[in-house]
Amino acid sequence: MKPGLALALAAATLPSGAFAQQTPRAEAPLRPVSTYSIVARDPATGELGVAVQSHWFGVGAIVAFAEAGVGAVATQSFVDPSYGPLGLELMRAGRTAPEALAGLLEADPHPDVRQVAMIDADGNVAAHTGENAIIAAGHHSGENYSVQANLMASETVWPAMARAFESTQGDLADRMMAALEAAEAEGGDIRGRQSAALLVVSGSPTGRPWVDRVFDLRIEDHAEPLAELRRILHLARAYREMNAGDEAMTVNEVDAAVEHYDAAATMVPESAEMVYWAGITLAAAGRVADALPRLERAYAADPGWAVLTPRLPDAGLLPDDPALLARLLAIPGGEPGMEEWRRLAAEGKAPPPPGP
């Protein structure tokens, strides 16, 4: 365990003031990560999340931290990123968000320049805006959320975020996005905008962080980071439908899988990939008539999808059935796939296509 982490954990048991006395002092950072952010919890699902926007490159990597079943942290202003992992470690050890934040602030030689918010898995909220955070700076904590901002164009930013979060319908990601958009509508960061991030973790922890992350989205550098974040959130939802389709296929629930694939394709109609895999799934399940229009649409978007098709039997994603493969490539746009099939056959990597 790192020394800083051990000291932070010790804060839960040391008498008041002792933790600060035993913690090495650090130099204050030179520049602020001026930011507006939200930490929040959905009491219905238990999901926890952080969303943030800043005029700073790659803000998500240093501001937003969350762990399923534990809590969420936003650390900003003259940012000390260690508040994220240390805060989560303290909450994982059983401390509430207020207790975790109080211990870390006590150990910090520069709490006056920090702005930090935490929420734990029970919905306890804590926030701190140091007296030397650059104005306009402040925070507002409500039931199951905290919004905070510094170096803002106006003191109306964080109240607007709170109103938007409280009034918006939808899941946690939608409500946090609404809070960010409300901040920007009030003028946001006085310097403008550059990067944004949204992190949501499940309310049902599995112990596998890659499974527990519902959304982990970052816009590192963009002229309109919130608009781009909103776009990729929509795209991420479509890919979640694709993943649900794949999970359904693993248990041979073909109708459910296709329903998920088609939902994804409806959400992102310009995506050839989504209709392609729906078509392949149907073809593999013997529903060729349903597969062909989907594959034709994918082939028309990019001939690479037709080229991919004859490679799939060897990977076990299509039956090793030349007659089936011929049907899948006989439709408009399929000729590049036939050429690939003939090439594979010439190299001994596939059976030859049926004769004319």
For the chain, the structural domain boundaries read 3-222, 240-346
pLDDT at 34 over 90: no
Average pLDDT in the 96-117 region? 97
pLDDT digits (tens, 9 = 90+) for 321-356: 999 999 999 999 999 999 999 999 999 999 999 876
CATH architecture of 3-222: 4-Layer Sandwich (3.60)
Give yes or no for a contact between 157 and 136, defined as CB atoms under 8 angstroms apart: yes
What is the C-alpha to C-alpha distance for residues 115 and 138, in angstroms, rounded to an integer? 8
- Segment among 21-35, 180-194, 293-307 with least mean pLDDT: 21-35
- Per-residue pLDDT, 32: 63
Q: What is the mean pLDDT of residues 208-228?
A: 97
Burial zone of 28 (CB within 10 Å; 0-12 exposed, 13-18 middle, 19+ buried): middle
Residues in a beta bridge with 118: 73, 126
Contact 84, 3 (CB under 8 A): no
Mean pLDDT of the chain: 91
C-alpha–C-alpha distance, residues 90 and 101, integer Å: 9
Confidence of residue 30 (pLDDT cuts 50, 70, 90): low
pLDDT tens digits, one per residue of 256-298: 998 999 899 999 999 999 999 999 999 999 999 999 999 999 9
How would you class 244 by CB atoms within 10 Å of its CB: exposed for 0-12, middle for 13-18, buried for 19 or more? middle
**CATH among 1.25.40, 1.10.3470, 1.20.120, 1.10.10 for 240-346:** 1.25.40
In the chain, the N- to C-terminal Cα span, in Å, equals 69
- pTM of the shown model: 0.87
Question: Would you place residue 252 in the very low, low, confident or very high pLDDT band (cuts 50, 70, 90)?
Answer: confident
Query: What is the pLDDT at residue 121?
Result: 98
